[in-house]
Amino acid sequence: MATLKLYNTLTRSLEDFKPRFTDEVGLYTCGPTVYNFAHLGNLRAYVFEDILKRVLNYNGYQVKHVMNITDVGHLVGDGNIGEDKIEAGATREGKTAWEVAEFYTQSFKKDIAALNIIPPTIWAKATDYIEDQIKLIEKLVDKGYTYQTSDGLYFNTAKIEHYNKLSHLPLEDLKEGARVEKNPEKINPTDFALWKFSPLGQKRQMEWPSPWGVGFPGWHIECSAISLSLLGEHLDIHCGGIDHINVHHTNEIAQSEAATSQKFFDYWMHNAFLVIAGGKKMAKSEANFLTLDSAVISHGIDPLAYRLALLNVHYRKPAEYTPEIIEAANNALEHLRNQVSDLGTERGEIDSVWQEKFLGALNDDLNTPQALAVVSEMLKSSLPNQDKLATIIDFEKVLALDLISEIPAAITKLAQERDRARENKDYAGADKLRQEIEGQGYSVKDGSAGSIVMKK
């Protein structure tokens, strides 16, 4: 069997994967900050991480996957100044911070379900781990890594050797980047907040008592506290987008290794951006973001077409979004499903030769474009249809493109009846059919090409 090789940002090299324990892998992935909808660029990271987890499973590993939900502490500037994004969202929408966080958490969960992303073993909300974060900060205080300013408690990055070991950038470059958000009380530009004080005379919606004063945790400390609490010694792989490398993940490593005197995670993996016209990354701050619903589902396109579009690009290369690319992916997905449908329903044996080719592509740093090429070649080969079907079902453990239809014929028939009712402007009848579909465990959305039915 081909050895699983993964690109490690920490060493800037392709490495044989060796977990700390033989058959168990600890995986931590940075989750969403739940103040707005996830955009397509955000979702690229979660598709990449889902492929990683499925490949680990395909190689026989048990995976304990922890994903945080940032529902406090992520400031508008991503650094140490500005308003908390959750509280800013509450002001924008006229809701409480707790309501905003819950609404966008549920929205995120719907998006990943639509993309066939396996949920994490543990969802970890930052607000559920305040005590763990305070305890971790106390260790850093006791070891002399912190100092206090008028607005919070800070980590002194000058006390860490090789602070730049993940970014591989000269320390001066990191300092220059940190100067964008000025705080005259910081000792070093790269120092970051561990605990922020509530403004004097102002009661925040989300605040807690601490040994240093009433306030809330900084953004970086939550991931360290949660991963150390829930994964313990299984600190194998930590993932996120490349925008996390120079600040968020660098600071996680600094504070975690300072507190424990142990290596934090062994493997750090990062996906490249999703870019739009002109090569610009998609970002909420640029007001250029598109959601899965607005850019895909509402246009009558299967959300798994977006998953397929991402699989056609290696996770470490920029992926481009255009409506034409998504439309082409939707057509390719339909073609694939038709090819599989033509194989019939009789299942034979998984072909070990093609399975080894598929695994070989995936174990080469998750080379999904090559894995899809193997799928195409296998479907065109002289292998008997029964064995092709069994083999594609096996490949689906990783691809998760619903190449084998799981929507029952009865549900499809109801969706078609609903489409006819809408065409005839029988909206009451269409709504009744929608309720019937949803009552049987499926969701239905309107697309320009008709109803889109998905498993809830």
> Is 293 buried (19+), middle (13-18) or exposed (0-12) by CB count in 10 A?
middle
Residue 2 confidence (pLDDT): 83
Cα atoms found within 13 Å of the Cα of residue 358, Cβ hemisphere only: 24
Rounded Cα gap, residues 172 and 436, in angstroms = 62
Whether residues 267 and 288 share a domain: the answer is no
* pLDDT > 60? residue 15: yes
Helix 385-399 with 352-362: angle, nearest 10 deg: 20
Residues 267, 246, single domain; the answer is yes
Whether 113 and 169 map to the same domain: the answer is yes
Position 404 in a domain: no
* DSSP bridge partners of 203: none
What DSSP assignment string belongs to 219-239?
HHHHHHHHHHHHHTT---EEE
Higher pLDDT, 1 or 130: 130
Q: Identify the weakest region by mean pLDDT among 42-51, 79-88, 126-135, 218-227.
A: 79-88
Q: What is the CATH number of the domain that holds 15?
A: 3.40.50.620
Give me the chain's average pLDDT, please.
Answer: 91
The model's confidence at residue 109, banded by pLDDT at 50, 70 and 90, is very high
Judge if 450 and 368 occupy the same domain. no
- Kindly state the average pLDDT of the residues 185-208: 89
Domain that holds residue 354: 274-399
Same domain, 315 and 303: yes
Question: Which of 245, 271, 297 is at the close of a domain?
Answer: 271
Beta-strand relationship, 152-155 and 146-148: antiparallel
What average pLDDT does this structure show over 211-233? 95
* Domain assignment present for 236: yes
SS3 label, residue 363: coil
List, as one string, the DSSP characters of 147-197: EE-SSEEEE-GGGSTTTTTTT---HHHHHHHHTTS--TT-SSTT-EEEEEE
The pLDDT of 182-191, averaged and rounded, is 88
Cα dist. 3→6, 55, 266, 412 in Å? 10, 12, 17, 42
Mean pLDDT to the nearest integer, 113-131: 96
Q: What is the mean pLDDT of residues 6-28?
A: 97
How far apart CA 28 and CA 404 sit, in angstroms, is 30
Phi, psi torsion values for 264, nearest 5 degrees: -80, -105
pLDDT at residue number 286: 61
Query: Does any domain span residue 244?
Result: yes
Q: Are residues 368 and 384 in the same domain?
A: yes
Among residues of the chain, what percentage have pLDDT more than 90?
Answer: 70
Residues 98 and 172 in one domain: yes
Tokens of 102: 């819950």
Tell me, yes or no, whether 149 and 162 share the same domain.
yes
Q: pLDDT at residue 288 above 70?
A: no
Are 204 and 300 found together in one domain?
A: no
The predicted-structure confidence for 60-100, as pLDDT tens digits, reads as follows: 999 999 999 998 866 665 555 566 787 888 878 888 889 99
- Provide the number of structural domains found in the chain: 3
Give pLDDT, residue 76.
Answer: 60
Instruction: Please classify residue 211 by burial: count the beta carbons closer than 10 Å to its beta carbon, then call 0-12 exposed, 13-18 middle and 19+ buried.
Output: exposed
Same domain, 266 and 394: no
Tell whether 97 is covered by a domain: yes
Kindly tell me if the per-residue pLDDT of 364 is higher than 90: yes
Q: How confident is the model at residue 199 (pLDDT cuts 50, 70, 90)?
A: confident
Hey, what's the torsion of the CAs at 69, 75, 77, 79, to 10 degrees?
Answer: -90
The pLDDT assigned to 184 comes to 86
Could you tell me if 317 and 196 lie in one domain? no
Query: Cα 266 vs. chain centroid, distance in angstroms?
Result: 19
Of the residues 271, 289, 313, which one is the last residue of a structural domain?
271
Backbone angles phi, psi at 178, to 5 degrees: -70, -20
317 close to 368: Cβ distance less than 8 angstroms: no
Assess whether pLDDT exceeds 60 at residue 140: yes
pLDDT category of residue 372 using cuts at 50, 70 and 90: very high
The answer to whether residue 182 is domain-embedded is yes
> What angle do the packed helices 40-58 and 385-399 form, to 10 degrees?
120
Average pLDDT over residues 119-131: 97
Average pLDDT over residues 133-154: 97
Report which residue type is found at 447. G
Q: What is the pLDDT of residues 373-387, one digit of tens each?
A: 999 999 999 999 999
Residue 311 falls inside a structural domain: yes
Query: Is 253 in the same domain as 159?
Result: yes
